[in-house]
Structure 1
């Protein structure tokens, strides 16, 4: 059953990323990556495997949750063949990871612009466009400074969460507003708890918030989750 599940995820990944296996690809898609793995974990694993020429490592997300896929960006397509060969036996946390060439489907420039900055993200959240899908969960700014914060009662507002997080250095917009967006759940989902995207002032502060708030309780009934978006 486990083999069948992995086969399904691998085939789903191929359909999702619309692979064409070009010889000039400057990206490699890793599949079956442990959900708990960070880009730093992947970097260590590929370094041990003698992978070279990797300029960036990006996790793929679905509704702000890791999908077991990661994307390696190469500085040149000349590294592709060597790296695919060395990745054949790659393992992360003891689990085998598969690899293949990848050509990313870039979102329209206008859509990128509309989700940048406090105002852009807030408007995207209101219209349901901030859905947490794709590389970096669809967030191109402030890498590792964004935290997905969930578990609060569904009626919680941005102002409520800002008050709860007043001891943390949440980034502010040019108008002095906290960089917090409430995420609209998918149309077919009825959520009992709220999900927020919180941008901190630094990577260090984002990690401090996660250490302090993740797996703690709000009141007696609401278990909180705080995770970095990589």
Structure 2
């Protein structure tokens, strides 16, 4: 009995050895970077160098990663997060290997680069200046989306147009489409979300068939 108890106590540290990342789980999907920074301050975490929300097609998965400056901070931070919460909801914290970069740009079979929006930060480098919008008609073009957003100031995305379609995974189909846009500033990104979120696309033509949702990618 004493031998098995000792093994259970040793295994976690063996698994954690050398790790400098903590994965947060069961986060509210509405959690943003500000909430996670407050979590770090409230629980007096040590050596946190980066906070990355995890995404699938630019929508939060309910997970996030904390990068630490040194392995010596791992166990103390895990203990501090043992009963932590975000938005009054309890969360879980576990040690993790470095997360996959989830490159925002993937290649299709034809070597055409497309945005996947998977992984920490959705795989994009310019934080807080990208907005994902979903609920457009499935076959709407990039040009039509840009025209619809003509009242907002947009930059090109990686030398592409101002609105880039987030492609579906293989062998899937949807009546709706999702687009990534890059406003010229953080303030403009938030203005776009405030104006567009929960509105309807061309209601004079489609009535309430296409309700749009928009979120800033952190």
TM-score by length of 2: 0.81
Q: Which has the higher helix share?
A: 1
Instruction: Kindly indicate whether the alpha-carbon contact (under 8 Å) linking 2:154 and 2:184 is maintained by their aligned counterparts in 1.
Output: yes
Give the aligned partner of residue 193 of structure 1: 176
Q: Matches of 2:31 and 2:116 in 1, distance apart? A: 22
Alignment match, 2:6: none
| Contact 2:54–2:64 (8 Å) recurs in 1 | yes
Q: Could you say which residue in structure 2 is the equivalent of 1:172?
A: 156
What is aligned with 1:146? 130
User: Which sections of structure 1, spanning at least 5 residues, go unmatched?
Assistant: 1-19, 117-121
Structure ranking higher in strand proportion? 2
- The answer to whether the Cα contact below 8 Å between 1:64 and 1:132 also exists between their aligned partners in 2 is yes
| Distance across 2 between alignment mates of 1:105 and 1:45 | 20
CA distance in 1, matches of 2:183, 2:19: 34
Partner of 2:23: helix, strand, or coil?
strand
How far apart are the structure 2 equivalents of 1:173 and 1:96? 37
What SS is found at the alignment partner of 1:60? strand
1:115-126 counterparts in 2 under 5 A?
115=105, 123-125=112-114
Instruction: Tell me how many residue pairs correspond in the alignment.
Output: 196
Match of 2:117 in 1: 132
1:26-76 residue CA offsets vs partner (Å, 9 max, x unmatched): 211111111110111011122111112212111111222211111011122
RMSD: 2.3
Deviating 4+ runs (over 3 angstroms): none
Confirm or deny that 1:91 pairs with 2:85: yes
Return the offset for 1:21.
Answer: 3.2
Is the 1:46–1:90 Cα contact (8 Å) retained in structure 2? no
The one of 23, 42, 59 equivalent to 1:65 is 59
- Structure-2 separation of matches of 1:228 and 1:137: 11
Higher Cα Rg: structure 1 or 2? 2
Give yes or no for the alignment of 1:211 onto 2:194.
yes
Aligned to 1:222: 210
Please say if residues 49 and 67 of structure 2, whose CA atoms lie closer than 8 Å, have aligned partners that are also in contact: yes
How far apart are 1:169 and its partner, in Å? 1.2
Equivalent of residue 35 in structure 2, options 5, 20, 41: 41
C-alpha separation in 2, matches of 1:169 and 1:105: 33
